[in-house]
Amino acid sequence: MAVPDYESLMQPVLDVLSDDESRTAAALREEVAAKLELSDEDRAERIRSGSRLFDNRVHWAVSYLVQAGCLTRPRRGIVAITDRGRELLQAHPDRIDGNLLEQFPEFIEFKNRAGKKRKRSDVPATASTTAISSTPKERLSEAVDEGNAAVADELIRRIREREPAFLEDVVLELLTAMGYGGREGAAEHLGRSGDEGLDGVIRQDALGLDRIYVQAKRYAAERSIGRPDIQAFVGALHGAQAERGVFITTSRFTDDARDYADRVNARLVLIDGEDLGDLMVSHNVGVQVEETFTLKEIDEDFFEA
């Protein structure tokens, strides 16, 4: 049989994992392929970039199910089913696709985040409307945005699984990748006794006269950063005789926290988990380029007399 599309692989993926045993990605692919009775020739089929078609489609089926909360990645390279995934499989034993996943708010939020980058409606386009109304360039852009949004989410999940000091190192590397610190500056990890809770500092010049202090909080998605946390950060900045600071979290900020940050004398930038993931993807921190596509167009100058 031909290799199914990634949506058609969602039900087999959940079915294989429904025995409550976690699996590596490789083991999962093997069992799904056996369940579908795919031939070696089917498994060997490759897309233009050289990746195996089946492996790529299983990867995206898993990624979408993770975004919908139907699968989880309990540790690196391992995937397991959740209670939601079991309930979805029980309710829809024959087929599961993206339309069914849209009943879950986490999946809608994921789709909308990718859509925001394209400045389009927050309602995810269906496959049929996309094929009819979008140009190949638009569809390619949409696919890249959606893929990067999934990677950004995975980055934040991975960071939440690590120790707090890991996030502190990540944000300094990110700010350096964004150009802060410059040629003569430097980034220093603080977090020691006497640093008043400040986790890092970016020195913009060789003498350290221009400094940006950093606070990093590794929190679960459910926990929000409120105004008291920002007030404490402002106090720490004043204690360091600093006027600029960046507060980064893997969770989110309350409206009250953002309003306070806008009104204080110090220049504050608040970066939540969603923005952190996007910035890491944009500046190649914690990620690598998987594939590069070249879309060509007619060179009009070639045909001018």
pLDDT tens column, 175-199: 999 998 876 668 888 865 444 568 8
| Residue 62: predicted pLDDT | 94
| Residue 190: predicted pLDDT | 81
**How confident is the prediction for the chain on average, in pLDDT?**
86
Token duo for residue 232: 């404490």
Place of tokens 């692919």: 29
The answer to which of 7-21, 33-47, 88-102, 174-188 has the lowest mean pLDDT is 174-188
| Cβ atoms of residues 176 and 202 within 8 Å | yes
| Residue 118: predicted pLDDT | 52
The pTM (predicted TM-score) of the whole model is 0.75
- pLDDT band at 127; cut points 50, 70, 90: very low
Q: Which of 41, 64, 62 is nearest to 53 (CA)?
A: 41
The mean pLDDT value for 75-95 works out to 94
Cross-strand pairs, 216: 248
Token duo for residue 191: 């977090």
Which part of the chain has CATH 3.40.1350.10?
Answer: 164-282
Specify the fold of 164-282: Trna Endonuclease; Chain: A, domain 1 (3.40.1350)
Helix and strand numbers (H, E) in the chain are: 13, 10
- pLDDT band at 289; cut points 50, 70, 90: confident
Q: Mind listing the pLDDT tens digit for each residue in 264-283?
A: 888 999 999 999 999 999 99
Separation of alpha carbons 244 and 249, rounded Å:
17
Residue 71, H or E segment:
strand 71-72
Residue 121: which residues within 8 A CB-CB, separation 6 or more?
A: 115
| Residue 1: predicted pLDDT | 67
Separation of alpha carbons 97 and 57, rounded Å:
13
Q: Is 89 in a helix, a strand, or coil?
A: helix
| Cβ atoms of residues 36 and 2 within 8 Å | no
Token duo for residue 202: 């970016």
